[in-house]
């Protein structure tokens, strides 16, 4: 069986199983549209699906996925702004109440940023250009963690990049406006795949703390 055939078989199981069991939910979503309360900016890593990690129902999350779960700063130059466009739609049109930046351990994008691997070394690399969004995270970690292990620095950069994205979110005027009005709350989360542990950024202690 090819992988495509596996996916088609999976759809058939979904149609006869979960869809059939929750027919009213899916019908309501199809006919009445979506009204999610939360945006998740997640990584496109195949191992970390925000809906699976949080065990959500369809319609619960508006999910934006890209390399290394980054939010770029607000800017109007250029032509293509996929992440920014999705954020604008979620905040301005869907009026979501939360934005979660969900980072994770063993992130390939962050590893490439820290180690300057093949993906980031290629000429005209889209990955290299995109990962510049997290350059401040890399610089902060290298400045304060000289002599620490590579794995410790990678984990620190994965978490530091979440904070860069949280700062960048506030450069979007319609995000800042709603945060100031207390209509929108920003969250930084980190998923440890080995420990199966979900952590949140605590501004008071300036560190990530595991959810109980």
Residue boundaries of the structural domains of the chain? 1-32, 34-210
Mean pLDDT on 180-201: 97
**pLDDT tens for each residue of 109-132:** 999 999 875 555 677 789 999 999
pLDDT for position 119: 53
- Domain 34-210 - what CATH class? alpha beta
pLDDT for position 181: 98
Distance, CA of 35 to CA of 62 (rounded, Å): 9
Maximum Cα interatomic distance, the chain, rounded to a whole number of Å: 57
Mean pLDDT on 143-159: 95
Are 43 and 109 contacting, i.e. CB atoms less than 8 angstroms apart? Answer: yes
Are 168 and 73 contacting, i.e. CB atoms less than 8 angstroms apart? Answer: yes
Q: What is the pTM of this model?
A: 0.94
The more confident residue out of 120 and 61 is 61
Distance, CA of 40 to CA of 22 (rounded, Å): 23
In percent, how much of the chain has pLDDT > 90?
Answer: 90
**Which residues are bridge partners to 208 per DSSP?**
201
The neighbour count for residue 140, using CB atoms within 10 Å, is 16
Here the contacts of 202-208 (C-beta below 8 Å, separation 24 or greater) are: 208/159
- pLDDT at residue 200 greater than cutoff 90: yes
**pLDDT tens for each residue of 12-57:** 999 999 999 999 999 999 999 999 999 999 999 999 999 999 999 9
């Amino acid at each position: 069986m090819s992988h495509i055939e596996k996916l088609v078989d999976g759809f058939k199981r979904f149609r006869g199983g979960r869809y059939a069991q929750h027919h009213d939910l899916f019908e309501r979503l199809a006919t009445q549209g979506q009204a999610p309360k939360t945006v998740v900016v997640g990584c496109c890593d195949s191992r970390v699906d925000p809906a699976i990690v949080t065990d959500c129902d369809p319609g619960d999350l508006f999910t934006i996925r890209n390399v290394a779960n980054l939010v770029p700063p607000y800017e109007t130059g250029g032509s293509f702004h996929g992440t920014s466009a999705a954020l604008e739609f979620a905040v301005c049109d869907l009026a979501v109440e939360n934005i979660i930046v969900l980072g994770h351990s063993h992130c390939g994008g962050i590893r490439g940023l820290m180690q300057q691997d093949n993906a980031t070394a290629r000429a005209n690399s889209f990955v290299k250009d995109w990962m510049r969004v997290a350059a401040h995270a890399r610089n902060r970690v290298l400045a304060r963690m000289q002599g620490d292990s590579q794995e410790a620095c990678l984990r620190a950069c994965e978490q530091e990049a979440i904070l860069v994205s949280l700062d960048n979110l506030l450069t979007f005027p319609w995000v800042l406006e709603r945060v100031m009005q207390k209509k929108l709350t920003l969250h930084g989360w980190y998923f440890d795949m080995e420990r199966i542990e979900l952590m949140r950024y605590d501004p008071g202690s300036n560190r990530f703390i595991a959810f109980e």
